[in-house]
């Protein structure tokens, strides 16, 4: 490695002291304009870029924040939500000279260890908390570690700073739409047990049904996966009681459910209308195209990143609500033309 340009070189070249150079470069007050200009010129000419290592040690900052993605290791592959979230986060971090440290773990205890290490090693200045569970142990952990954290879509009255995208209204719109089309009971395939967003979607579905004065349909336990959707379909098929409309906790589940029902010879939406949640690209690739609740993970990500950096900078922050999710009606709901079954 070539000897790198340090602040000493810059100071020398500008003919000032190291401390003045530092102050000038960091836009700190107490430096004359001429000195500042001279220092900047020197830095430019030398191609000076401050070493994060030195900066980190002396300023007690890592200039990085962490995201621990906890799920099967193929999440990023099967669930596109994270990609968009990360993209949103990254767009903000980049502008502020921060980096994203990404960890992927399979189990919750491993995730907790990672947070512990990130904090203990002072590798990051803060973290994002995603996929919150009920009574999530990470809350206490963050408080104990005194590690700045921003939660993504936690429940109401969450004790840590949070970014939320509300979807209750969109879910209400969906159920209302189902009702308008003549459905008298709307089933729901839930997400994995224990997650806050699983319960939020269940209760939004419940209240909407109640408000609209229809039966709350059957509730099936899913797990946010394609196979979970298929399993739910099997269950419905075996029960002999097929709902006319089904709202799934996410798109992947809805697609699994839909395909399994189609394999059983059912027509979508003729025999059964189906809707998902998320708005992932896959929903447009299947036939019929999937009606869904459009979430905006990119916006959530950038809001969360902005908030986290503000906290790190010790600026006051308030919880952020990004624009609510919206109903995107596509082909898997809507036409109530009952077509004849096309085969087993």
Partner DNA sequence: TTGAAAGCGCTACCAT
Partner DNA sequence: ATGGTAGCGCTTTCAA
* Footprint of a copy of itself (CB under 8 A): 1-2, 4, 47, 49-54, 56-57, 60, 62, 64, 73-78, 80-84, 86-87, 90-91, 94, 99-105, 114, 117, 120-123, 146, 226, 255-256, 259, 262, 280-282, 284-287, 298
SS3 314: coil
Q: Which of 50, 155, 270, 324 binds DNA (CB under 7 A)?
A: 50
- The number of residues making up the chain comes to 344
By beta-carbon proximity to a copy of itself, the closer residue of 50 and 334 is 50
What does 257 bind: a copy of itself, DNA, none (CB cut-off 5 to 8 Å by kind)? Answer: none
And the tokens for 319? 């919880």
CB of 112 to a copy of itself, least distance (A): 14
Beta carbons within 10 angstroms of residue 117's beta carbon: 13
What does 76 bind: a copy of itself, DNA, none (CB cut-off 5 to 8 Å by kind)? Answer: a copy of itself
Kindly state whether residue 54 participates in binding DNA, applying the rule CB under 7 A.
yes
By beta-carbon proximity to DNA, the closer residue of 20 and 225 is 20
By beta-carbon proximity to a copy of itself, the closer residue of 88 and 217 is 88
What does 102 bind: a copy of itself, DNA, none (CB cut-off 5 to 8 Å by kind)? Answer: a copy of itself
Name beta bridge partners: 149: 127
CA distance 142 to 133: 15
DSSP per-residue codes, 5-22: P-HHHHHHHHTS-HHHHH
Say if CB 130 and CB 85 are below 8 A apart. Answer: yes
What does 96 bind: a copy of itself, DNA, none (CB cut-off 5 to 8 Å by kind)? Answer: none
Say if CB 260 and CB 335 are below 8 A apart. Answer: no
Say if CB 304 and CB 127 are below 8 A apart. Answer: no
C-alpha distances out from residue 183 to 31, 257, 273, Å: 72, 18, 9
What does 117 bind: a copy of itself, DNA, none (CB cut-off 5 to 8 Å by kind)? Answer: a copy of itself
DSSP state of 213: T
Kindly state whether residue 119 participates in binding DNA, applying the rule CB under 7 A.
no
- Computed from CA positions of residues 149, 99, 314, 54, in that sequence, does the dihedral angle turn out positive or negative? positive
CB of 50 to DNA, least distance (A): 4
Q: Note the residues at the interface with DNA (CB under 7 A).
A: 4, 6-8, 15-20, 22-23, 25-26, 28-32, 34-35, 48, 50-51, 53-55, 57-60
């Amino acid at each position: 490695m070539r000897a790198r340009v340090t602040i000493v070189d810059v100071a020398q070249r500008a003919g000032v002291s190291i401390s003045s150079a530092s102050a000038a470069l960091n836009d700190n007050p107490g430096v004359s304009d001429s000195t500042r200009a001279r220092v900047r010129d020197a830095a430019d000419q030398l191609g000076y870029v401050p070493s994060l290592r030195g900066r980190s040690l002396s300023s007690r900052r890592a200039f990085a924040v962490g995201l621990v993605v906890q799920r099967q290791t193929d999440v990023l592959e099967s669930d596109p939500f994270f990609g968009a979230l990360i993209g949103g986060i990254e767009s903000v971090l980049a502008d502020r000279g921060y980096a994203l440290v990404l960890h992927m773990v399979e189990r919750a205890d491993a995730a907790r260890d990672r947070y512990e290490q990130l904090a203990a090693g002072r590798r990051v200045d803060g973290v994002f908390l995603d996929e919150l569970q009920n009574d999530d142990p990470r809350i206490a952990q963050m408080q104990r570690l005194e590690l700045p954290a921003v939660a993504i879509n936690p429940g109401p009255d969450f004790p840590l700073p949070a970014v939320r995208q509300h979807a209750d209204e969109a879910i209400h719109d969906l159920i209302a739409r189902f009702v308008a089309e003549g459905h008298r009971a709307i089933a729901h395939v839930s997400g994995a047990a224990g997650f806050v967003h699983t319960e939020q979607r269940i209760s939004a579905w419940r209240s909407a049904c109640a408000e609209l004065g229809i039966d709350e349909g059957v509730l099936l336990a899913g797990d946010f996966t394609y196979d979970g959707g298929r399993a739910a379909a099997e269950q419905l098929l075996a029960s002999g009681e097929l709902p006319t409309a089904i709202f799934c906790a996410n798109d992947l589940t809805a697609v699994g459910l839909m395909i399994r029902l189609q394999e059983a010879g059912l027509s979508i939406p003729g025999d059964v209308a189906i809707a998902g949640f998320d708005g992932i690209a896959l929903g447009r690739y299947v036939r019929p195209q999937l009606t869904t609740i459009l979430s905006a993970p990119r916006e959530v990500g950038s809001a969360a990143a902005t908030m986290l950096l503000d906290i790190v900078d010790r600026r006051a922050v308030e919880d952020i609500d990004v624009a609510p999710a919206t109903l995107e009606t596509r082909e898997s709901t809507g036409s109530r033309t009952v077509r004849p079954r096309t085969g087993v």
